[in-house]
Amino acid sequence: MTQQQTQNPLQLLDIQFAERKAEFQAVLPSNCSFERFARIVKTAAIQTPELLAADRASLFMSCFKTAQDGLLPDGREAALVIYNTKQKDGSYKKLVQYMPMVGGVLKKVRNSGELASISAHVVYDKDEFDYCLGDYEHITHKPTVGERGKPICAYAIVKTKDNAIYREVMSVTDIEKIRSISKSKDGQAWKEHWAEMAKKTVIRRISKRLPMSTDLEQVIHRDDEMFEFDNKPRPVNTAVDTINKQVIDISDAVEIEDSSVEEEQQTDEVNNDVVVSPEIAEKADKFYKGMSHAKAN
């Protein structure tokens, strides 16, 4: 029997983390030491013992992604959640998935450097709440002191440094629809911290309309991994992704509808700050020349 086999699961976790120290140090932000990060993961395992019984490879991969995104799996910035995944032989394996929490999303949004302020709140049926669309959009919310009743919606307000204001309101029904496709819909986060998950859901939605840094976009995509989209392809979010998809899909005979061309042009306008490598630019140039030739014929 080896020394590792004689260790209890928590001690084994310490040993295995130490073996990966160099890997984590390479991606952790400068303000977080490897020792601190390892302690936070160990605390999460103590609070949720099921993590120690879950697939260890997925645990380390999730921890690595969390570190790479500059977040801490402390339950406020990010959480390590467990879900059952069906295997080819019909059995189920407990896998670990990293899930950004509202504190982590807010942290990344604030660090994007594009925003003056961001806030999110849950509205309850005993609060005073008024939401108006049109030429003069506004949100007015006066929380009730004391018992506030049942939640009715959540909203987020973002102000950018150029004085633009973004607003997003989601009803409980809208939020529950998002929850229903989450791999962790019955997990601890939703059951015990519904309000925080509701805030994160509305922030996640509004963030897709904001000027985003690469770091923030990466965190949003991490969150997408927690949802079941019926195997539908993920929406293309950047000019690079758009070009890559076009290069992959293009065939010798290209036939493109005018509506598709218009949509691609809109995507490029929204993402005109993306830097494209020379190779991608060359492929894109060939593609668009081929597209023009196909339309001419």
Closest by Cα among 185, 191, 15 to 84: 185
Residue 57: which H helix or E strand, with range?
helix 56-68
Residue 26: which H helix or E strand, with range?
helix 21-27
Report whether 165 contacts 67 (CB < 8 A): no
pLDDT of residue 226: 58
Q: pLDDT grade, residue 227 (50/70/90)?
A: low
Nearest-10 crossing angle of helices 172-180, 194-207: 90
Per-residue pLDDT tens digits for 77-91: 998 988 887 788 888
**Is pTM beyond 0.85 here?**
no
Can you tell me the mean pLDDT for 259-263?
40
Closest by Cα among 201, 183, 184 to 102: 201
Q: State how far the Cα of 250 lies from the Cα of 222, in Å rounded to an integer.
A: 28
Q: State how far the Cα of 237 lies from the Cα of 246, in Å rounded to an integer.
A: 13
Can you tell me the mean pLDDT for 240-264?
37
Per-residue pLDDT tens digits for 132-184: 989 889 999 999 999 999 999 999 999 988 888 999 999 999 999 999 887 77
